Amino acid sequence: MALFHKHDKDDASSATPQKSGTMKRAASSKLAGGKASAPDARGAGKKDADKTVGAAGRKTAGEKADKVITRAARQAKEGAPSKAARRREHKEKLGKAGKYVLVAIGVAAMLLSVTAMACSGVLNQVSSGGEQYHLTGGVAAEVKGVNITEDTVTQQIMSTRQNGGYDTDAAWATYLDGQGLTPETLREQVIDSLARQYLLTQAVNEHEITVSDEEIDDELASQAEAYGMSADEYVSQMTSIGYTEDTLRQSVASSLEQQKLREEVAPLEDPTDQEIIDDVNGRLDTLNDARRSSHILIKVDADADEATKEEARQKLEDLRAQIEAGDISFEDAAKENSEDSSASDGGDVGWDKLTTFVTAYQDALSALQPGEMSGVVESDYGYHLILCTELFHVDGEVTSIDQIPDDLRTQISNSLASSAQSTAYSEWLDGYVEDAGVTINPMPEDVPYNVDMSLAGTEDTSSDSGDATADAATNEDSDAAAEGGAATNEETE
């Protein structure tokens, strides 16, 4: 499906002036090793406008976060760090910030890039991370009468280049080549993402979707709870990387609007029993012998002294004895004593074949039959008591829906429904973008991210082990933006 129409070089003159409840229990458990999928918080409000989508002026929330990360990296060591050290430091800091920020706000690095930031003029030079680069001006693309400026695209790409530490052309070319990209195709991806962000804002308006203050408050509280914070602590954490309370609320509002849009244009539909049976049979090698479990966790740091560890072990031994004696149920013991987020569910962390547990936990669980309880199990998180609550096993293949335990069936049903919704939504969005007609102008030769791709692999990067993944978060954000994008907050001139 052709989503874009490109101007030929001869037309260059015209260019100038993105779980469900499927894994709720397991995802909420820190033990699971998985990550709670806090909803994205993208975009920042919208206004009807036919303004130029500009590049100069206000920086995106993601860029502010990047500046915080970059500054912290410089302060981490005295003197000038090597490229490899900068990349490793960036990756470490990004991971820490991501725990509180990136997971919750998804592609917020694109948040205000689509904004009409410049009124009439465009800055010729900008500074990012202390390094200046040339801005060409001009229009990169047009969508439904709105221009996406070349400088908006440049700033987004240069943020990736500078934060990744790709200072030389050879390093940048090597990075692009490793991603299967060229400067031209990377530019097209960014334009596609920005166009989709803008169009999603228009679609929200067209469908007259609104979000109340109460819904925003509830979502902020939910995001805070996912990270074990109060709402005030969460807002404070977000403002520390460049948000204000107003822009954070706008961002959450945009995310909720787009969730409502998804539900309207691609509503969830429950799969049939036969579809569930077919899915299970198709994955039976993986799902067979799945175990559901509950646990009681007493947290102990890995570097704790032996007395602290012994105290935790003894507490669980005492609880185990009380449970075996019938003095207390495992569920109540978990609710009263477990220090895992699953405590409110009586310690239930779901099915092992639908998530990933730490090795020590999984090994102990695999040795249990339904109703059996483990001894004290040590893991990186501390000490556990584990109770196997259900086992799924079939000989041959599933022939009846009744062979699948209710909770497992529900999770698989939710997963299938979510997958079908995602497919339907993507098809709708592709069609919406195609109907809008995105026109891409030729890439100026002097954009600062343009590079001779024959330089790829010519620079020794042996000391930069792990660099291939140093920008994983950036790439994931870009992919997510392409799927859903952020909304546009356009200003009047």
Burial of 181 (0-12, 13-18, 19+ CB in 10 A): middle
Instruction: Specify whether the CB–CB gap between 40 and 105 falls below 8 A.
Output: yes
Per-residue tens of pLDDT for the chain, all 493 residues? 333 334 444 443 333 223 333 333 333 333 333 333 333 333 333 333 333 333 333 333 333 333 333 333 333 333 333 444 444 443 343 333 333 333 333 333 333 333 333 322 232 333 344 458 889 999 999 999 999 999 999 999 999 999 999 999 999 999 999 999 999 999 999 999 999 999 999 999 999 999 999 999 999 999 998 888 998 999 999 999 889 999 999 999 999 999 999 999 999 999 999 999 999 999 999 999 999 999 999 999 989 999 999 999 999 999 999 999 999 999 999 999 999 999 999 999 999 999 999 999 999 999 999 999 999 999 999 999 999 999 999 999 999 999 999 999 999 999 999 999 999 999 999 999 999 999 999 999 999 999 999 999 987 654 443 443 334 334 444 444 334 333 333 332 3
List the one residue out of 328, 302, 312, 307 whose CA is nearest residue 384.
Answer: 312
Sign (positive or negative) of CA dihedral 441, 442, 447, 451: positive
Distances (CA, A) of 122 to 110, 116, 195, 269: 19, 11, 20, 47
Dig out the tokens for 392 from the structure: 């799924």
Residues whose CB falls within 8 Å of the CB of residue 274, separated by 6 or more in sequence, listed in order: none
Q: Which residues, 6 or more positions from 227, have their beta carbon under 8 angstroms from its beta carbon?
A: 38, 99, 100, 104, 234
Question: What angle do helix axes 245-265 and 231-239 make, rounded to 10 degrees?
Answer: 110
End-to-end CA distance of the chain: 36
The tokens 């004895």 sit on which residue?
Answer: 321
Residue-level pLDDT at 24? 31
Q: How many CB atoms lie within 10 A of CB 108?
A: 32
Q: And the tokens for 454?
A: 């024959």
CA dihedral of 141, 142, 148, 150, whole degrees rounded to 10: 30
- Which whole-number Å values give the CA distances from 436 to 4, 50, 142, 432, 447, in the listed order? 9, 14, 10, 6, 27
Planar angle of CA 140, 142, 146, nearest 5 degrees: 115
The first and second tokens of residue 284, run together, are: 């039976």
CB-based contacts of 111, cutoff 8 Å, min separation 6 = 42, 43, 44, 60, 61, 62, 105, 251, 486
